[in-house]
Amino acid sequence: MNAVSTSVELKRDLLTGMEWNPSQVRALFSLAAEMKARPEQFRSSLAGRVLILLFEKPSLRTRVTFEVGVANLGGSSIFLDHTASRLNEREPTRDIAKNLERWVQGIIARVFVQETLEELAQNASVPVINALSDRFHPCQALADFLTLEERFGGLRGLKLAYVGDGNNMCHSLITFAARTGVNMRVATPAGYEPADDVMAEAKRVSRETRAKIELFRAPEDAVAGAQAVYTDVWASMGQESEAAERERIFAGYQVNEELFSLAARDAVFLHCLPAHRGLEVTPEVIDSARSIIYDQAENRLHVQKAILHTLLNS
């Protein structure tokens, strides 16, 4: 299968996920499924291409799946470790982008702030892919919805509950729930809701897909009857100083057996990992047969290969 084919030109960056319309997301899932089933057909997709992995934050799944994915497609990658010094400290982000565009065919960036990604994209002529920022984690959310589609055979009308912090992971799930017709219920403590602009954009897209994006205070209301229950860490990277306070605030938002029992009988549990067992989720839930966390992790590889194939061959 060739790159995503739509009547609307696909933007060559993936910064938020909002760049893509529902039909483009649907096409990406079809491509990812084909690449997963027949990887040998895409072994030269990135032949002769070099990609930079520019990481301000540590990583297991993101780094490995991107490096393996680039290699599977016949390309090569270079890892630039910026965990010791942030971008823009030693050299302006603009200059970094202007240099990299002369040498490589794409930039995969894992950064602390969304503005860094935006600056890279504004100043580099090659595709820039968000490998995580404080605002969005689109590659993970795309893998999550591909995993749910594999599990349930379709996404439209699926009931997904998210319990916890209205963080970057929550933002990306909302963004793609709107584009795939998923009914998503988000339960957060007061003051930790997803951003208003993310909600407004999702509701705009939902008018086309008939998705429902709803906010709740009580986790029980969000989880009741849900086919998928998702949570994430209460304190993300960069919020370590808030960890103790967040543990107190989020104590009632733990996904445990009692809460999970309110979901549908065939419900599955999801987590983007790494997880803190005993905090946002109990071992009994995350390590149960109904947990699909490792399917999610595997599908990071296949979705990211589809993203790379699409953006670098469009």
Active site residues per annotation = 110, 137, 140, 232, 272, 300
Beta bridge partners of 186: 162, 215
- Cα separation, 100 vs 104, in Å, equals 6
Which stretches of the chain are DSSP H helices? 22-37, 61-72, 93-103, 114-123, 138-152, 168-180, 196-209, 219-223, 243-249, 257-260, 283-286, 293-312
Closest CA to 109 of 84, 75, 136, 76: 136
Task: Tell the burial category of 224 from Cβ atoms under 10 Å away from its Cβ (0-12, 13-18, 19+).
Answer: middle
3-state helix, strand, coil in the chain (%, to 5): 45, 15, 40
